[in-house]
Every structure is written in structure tokens, then in C-alpha cells.
């Protein structure tokens, strides 16, 4: 099993993701510079958070033209795992690997705080190790996390159980007050129909050490490792 | 030859920046301003050897593939 963490100019959560994979998942991991086009040795790639290309034009809009992204599209089409976190989620939406878009937070603020997250679907490769009743405490850090999509896309997401995470209160209730950024239907993370591509605005890689306030992100990475293991066997 | 590209949020998409600008405009005392929506404007310099139709086709493709995200934005191209 081998993980890759893609590095664009302006990525800044790449080292956090690398640290979590090597230390808490205990698996080999490489940084992948965005000009690389061969992903054949990897089972999963993480598209990390940050400000790829300085967020110029739109968040993630220029990263989708990086050479590595054609390889990521082929990689995803082969059923391999592509996990976008924060700016990575924005990039996957811009690249068309996930539906919808992420626009400016409703209140215009850059929001950096722990939020509560409900796992709406724990039958995905990213959430299988998480109890469906558990409320995860994971930080967000973004100014453009307001998920939008048209009605047709939204109904498809619901019908196919592609909404994986929603913002909730500490008891797990999905409320307007618990929605930090105005995202449609409190959506914090979605997957594609095949379940191998996932994007989420919260940062689970920042919630894997008790010292940082929460361990709740570990379940996501461990689920992914288990999914890769079960495919390899 | 120049292409002017206007990228605007689709009417259905919330524009919190436009709303904040509208609020400031109202504070300045302007009245009867119903709405302000923020967009983006691009100028593309194209080689003079291109015909107007070729220039428009290039600019349209650039607008569609790069400048606008069709999920949330519309665009309009003018050749001048």
C-alpha cells in the first residue's frame, strides 16, 4: 500500500497529510510534485489543503490545469482513491471529479475553528471505521467553503447517498446555526457515485493528535487504509 | 484585436460580496439601488492576423474552459 500527497505551488497542508499517513496510518507515503504524471505506484492520492496558485481566478481553478491532474483523472477512473481536503475539495470540483462548486462563505469571513461533523454515510471507503452515531470534532479553515449545486445535482447526491459529511451541532442535529459557511443542506463533504473520490472542507489531518484538540480525523484515514488493504487482498 | 470577457455569477447563486457592497452603497446615502452583484472582467489581446470570427471562437473557448466555472457562472464575450 502506498499513498501520495500532491503538492501544488501554494499547497500548505501537504506535510500534515504526509505526517498523518506515515505516523498514524503507518504506511509509506510520497510527496508528488504537480508536474509529475505517473501515479502508477500509488493506491491513493491526497489532494491537500492550502492556496494552490494563490487562489487566483477561483479557488482550485488553475490547479486543475497542472499536469498531475490528468493523471489524477485517469487514476480516479481506474477506481483508485482520490481524497481532496479543503483546497483539494475545491480542486476536485473545478476538475469535474466531484459535482458542484465551493463559493465564498455566506458571512464573508475566513473561518478557522473546530466544527461538529455528522457522518451521513459510513458505507464508504473513507468512513467505514466510523460509528454512524459519532459526532466528529474537526477543524475548518476556509473562506470559500460554501457548497453550491443545482437542484438536479442535489437530488442525485441525496439519492445516491453521496453526501458523506454534514455540519451539525454537538448532539448531531443538522441545524442552520451549525452551518458555518452557508453550504447547501449543511454539506461538508461528498463522494462520487463510485465512492472512490471524496472531497471535504474540514481538515481531518489536523485532528489526529490529542495535543491538537481532537483525534477524530484518524477514523477517516484508517478507513481508507482498510479499504486499500481489502482491495489488495 | 481585443476580447472583453465578462464573468458573472448565475442569478441563482448567492453573492455575499455583492450584498456587502450594496450595504456600503446604501450607507453612503444612495437610494433606489435594488441590488449589486460582483463579477469579473478580463481583457484578452489577440493577434491581429486572426479574423473576428476566429478571435471570438478562441475567446469563447478560453472563457468557457478557464475564466468561468459553468456550475456557478455565466460569461459574455465581446470583440473590439
pLDDT digits (tens, 9 = 90+) for B16-51: 999 999 999 999 999 999 999 999 999 999 999 999
Judged by DSSP in three states, A218 sits in helix
Chain A residues within 8 A of B9 when measuring between CB atoms? 103
Residue range A73-119, pLDDT digits in tens: 999 999 999 999 999 999 999 999 999 999 999 999 999 999 999 99
Residue range A178-223, pLDDT digits in tens: 999 999 999 999 999 999 999 999 999 999 999 999 999 999 999 9
Contact A103 B17 (CB under 8 A): no
Torsion of CA A139, A167, A6, A81, to 10 degrees: 130
Q: Tell the CATH topology of B2-79.
A: Mth169; Chain: A , (3.30.1280)
The catalytic site residues of A sit at 86, 203, 205
From residue A14, how far is each of A62, A92, A139, B43, B48 by CA, in Å? 18, 16, 16, 35, 44
| pLDDT for res A233 | 74
From residue B27, how far is each of A180, B23, B24, B47 by CA, in Å? 27, 6, 5, 45
Say if B45 is an interface residue toward chain A (CB within 8 Å): no
Residue range A26-44, pLDDT digits in tens: 999 999 999 999 999 999 9
> Distance from B76 to chain A by nearest Cα, in Å?
17
Going from N- to C-terminal start, the domains of chain B cover: 2-79
> Distance from B31 to chain A by nearest Cα, in Å?
24
Give me the domains of chain A, ranges plus CATH numbers.
3-232 (3.40.50.880)
Interface test with A, best of B69, B70, B74 (most A CBs within 10 A): B69
In chain B, the DSSP E strands lie at 2-9, 39-45, 73-79
What mean pLDDT do residues A153-167 have? Answer: 98
Amino acid at each position: 500500500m502506498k499513498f501520495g500527497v500532491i503538492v501544488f505551488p501554494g499547497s500548505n497542508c501537504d506535510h500534515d497529510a504526509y505526517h498523518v499517513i506515515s505516523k498514524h496510518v503507518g504506511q509509506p507515503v510520497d510527496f508528488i510534485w504537480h508536474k509529475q504524471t505517473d501515479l502508477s505506484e500509488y493506491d491513493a492520492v491526497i489532494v491537500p489543503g492550502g492556496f494552490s496558485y494563490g487562489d487566483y481566478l477561483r479557488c482550485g481553478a488553475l490547479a486543475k490545469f497542472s499536469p498531475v491532474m490528468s493523471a489524477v483523472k485517469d487514476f480516479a477512473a481506474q477506481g483508485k482513491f482520490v481524497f481532496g481536503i479543503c483546497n483539494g475539495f475545491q480542486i476536485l470540483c473545478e476538475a469535474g471529479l466531484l459535482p458542484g462548486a465551493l463559493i465564498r462563505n455566506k458571512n464573508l469571513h475566513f473561518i478557522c475553528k473546530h466544527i461538529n461533523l455528522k457522518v451521513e454515510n459510513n458505507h464508504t471507503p473513507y468512513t467505514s471505521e466510523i460509528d454512524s452515531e459519532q459526532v466528529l470534532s474537526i477543524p475548518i479553515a476556509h473562506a470559500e467553503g460554501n457548497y453550491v449545486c443545482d437542484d438536479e445535482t442535489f437530488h442525485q447526491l441525496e439519492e445516491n447517498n453521496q453526501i458523506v459529511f454534514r455540519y451539525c451541532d454537538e448532539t448531531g442535529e443538522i441545524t442552520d446555526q451549525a452551518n458555518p459557511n452557508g453550504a447547501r443542506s449543511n454539506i461538508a463533504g461528498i463522494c462520487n457515485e463510485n465512492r472512490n473520490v471524496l472531497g471535504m472542507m474540514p481538515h481531518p489531518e489536523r485532528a489526529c493528535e490529542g495535543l491538537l484538540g481532537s483525534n477524530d480525523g484518524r477514523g477517516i484515514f484508517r478507513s481508507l487504509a482498510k479499504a486499500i488493504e481489502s482491495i489488495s487482498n | 484585436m481585443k476580447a472583453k470577457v465578462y464573468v458573472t455569477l448565475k442569478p441563482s447563486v448567492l453573492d455575499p460580496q455583492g450584498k456587502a457592497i450594496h450595504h456600503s452603497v446604501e450607507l453612503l446615502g444612495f437610494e433606489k439601488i435594488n441590488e449589486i452583484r460582483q463579477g469579473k472582467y478580463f481583457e484578452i489581446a489577440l493577434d491581429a492576423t486572426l479574423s473576428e470570427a476566429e478571435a471570438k471562437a478562441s475567446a469563447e473557448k478560453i472563457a468557457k474552459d478557464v475564466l468561468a466555472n459553468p456550475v456557478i457562472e455565466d460569461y459574455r464575450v465581446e470583440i473590439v
